């Protein structure tokens, strides 16, 4: 299995639209990004699409003058790779300090605590 490419923050914004709407044209990606933030520029989006193609995250087909983009990596794979990279860089690959940091630094609702407990107990049984 080939490694999942590293995706920058701005590239994530493009990929979210492609994952949600695939296949999607460049103009649809631009429109989707501008709906959330009008400061996006057409040329910036096209540059990001080309970068993602070069990285192997996107594929495309040309129909007339339009390019249609599709993901070559799943959102789950990308989230997993980004999470592992973050865990390694920031916490030396150890999950316990990461969880402790987030639990101690965030106000969790009773529902969130119960869900985390349920998930951990499920892992314990395995």
Question: Where residue 21 sits, what CATH number does that domain have?
Answer: 1.10.10.10
Q: Are 72 and 57 in contact (CB under 8 A)?
A: yes
Query: What residues does 25 pair with on adjacent strands?
Result: 68
Question: Where residue 121 sits, what CATH number does that domain have?
Answer: 1.10.4040
Query: What residues does 68 pair with on adjacent strands?
Result: 25, 61
Q: CA-CA distance, 52 to 118, in Å (whole number)?
A: 37
Residue 22, pLDDT above cutoff 90: yes
Q: 80 and 111: one domain?
A: yes
* Mean pLDDT for the stretch of residues 103-122: 91
Answer whether residue 2 is part of any domain. no
Tens digit of pLDDT for each residue in 23-57? 999 999 999 999 999 999 999 999 999 999 999 99
Residue 64 belongs to domain spanning? 9-71
Q: 21 and 65: one domain?
A: yes
**Number of other CB atoms surrounding residue 57 within 10 Å:** 23
Q: 38 and 51: one domain?
A: yes
Domain count, the chain: 2
Q: CA-CA distance, 77 to 82, in Å (whole number)?
A: 9
């Amino acid at each position: 299995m080939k490694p999942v490419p590293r995706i920058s923050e701005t590239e994530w914004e493009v990929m979210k639209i492609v994952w949600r709407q695939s296949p999607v044209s460049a103009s649809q990606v631009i429109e989707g990004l501008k709906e959330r933030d009008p400061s996006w520029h057409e040329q910036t989006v096209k540059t990001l699409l080309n970068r993602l193609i070069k990285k192997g995250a996107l594929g495309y087909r040309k129909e007339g003058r339009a390019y249609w983009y599709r993901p070559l990596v799943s959102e789950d794979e990308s989230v997993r790779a980004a999470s592992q990279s973050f865990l390694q860089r920031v916490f030396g690959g150890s999950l316990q300090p990461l969880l402790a940091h987030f639990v101690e630094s965030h106000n969790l609702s009773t529902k969130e605590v119960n869900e985390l407990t349920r998930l951990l107990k499920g892992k314990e049984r395995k």
